[in-house]
Amino acid sequence: MKYSKSNYEHKFTCSYRNCTNSLANATCVDAKRLVEDIALTDDQFYEFCQLNRDFRIERNAAKELVIMPPTGSETDERNFNLIRQLWVWTKQDGTGVGLGSSGGFTLPNGAVRSPDPAWIKLTRWEAIPLELRKKFALICPEFVIELRSESDNLRILQDKMQEYIDNRTQLGWLIDRKQRQVFIYRPHTAVEVLNNLKTLSDESLLPGFF
């Protein structure tokens, strides 16, 4: 699929018949022609994501698909470092599980989201039946990070962070390296904006992380 800069995020409501076709075989124009006003079931949406693993696919609370191309190499390297740091801390702390950006979660509002890295308390994770963990588990992580790439729309990421908080995430970091800013999201608290940070931490939820 070919993307122009203005087409880096597309919202589709697709029929299951059309969604079984790989996006890799379509141009943006072709994909738009496939759009039909019908929602996928949860199982159909999961299958659609498996058929199109080269894309990062989410679904909003209105059941519309949000399809994004792979990130650039620089952003992916930074994502890898974030995931590595969270993995090391998670193993040392032992109270939760960490997950990367290729996994999805079904939020209480019905949206399916894939934060860059995420962390969930172990007791909540283990309460989910094993079979349900194999797909998009119905849970909202306690902690999420979104790393803005060069092409990401800041307003869309800010709305997504607020959605996490509205669905009971306890802490969210939106890292905008381009503007050298970090937006910190917490429940019932105004968004905190920090500039030119070299380190970032939160001892209340993630003691010793970063």
Query: Where does the pLDDT of residue 17 fall: very low under 50, low under 70, confident under 90, or very high at 90 and above?
Result: very low
Q: Do 57 and 114 lie in a common domain?
A: no
Which structural domain, as residue segments, surrounds residue 49?
5-68
* pLDDT for 16: 43
For the chain, give the percent of residues with pLDDT over 90.
Answer: 58
Confirm whether 202 is domain-assigned.
no
- Beta strand 143-147 pairing with 171-176: parallel
Query: Where does the pLDDT of residue 136 fall: very low under 50, low under 70, confident under 90, or very high at 90 and above?
Result: very high
Q: Do 135 and 172 lie in a common domain?
A: yes
* 153-163 pLDDT, tens digit each: 999 999 999 99
Residue in 101, 21, 112 with CA at minimum distance from that of residue 62? 112
Q: Do 47 and 85 lie in a common domain?
A: no
Number of domains in the chain: 2
* 67-77 pLDDT, tens digit each: 887 777 777 78
8 A C-beta contact, residue 135 and residue 112: no
In whole angstroms, what is the distance from residue 87 CA to residue 100 CA? Answer: 9
Last residue of a domain, one of 68, 93, 109: 68
* pTM, rounded to two decimals: 0.81
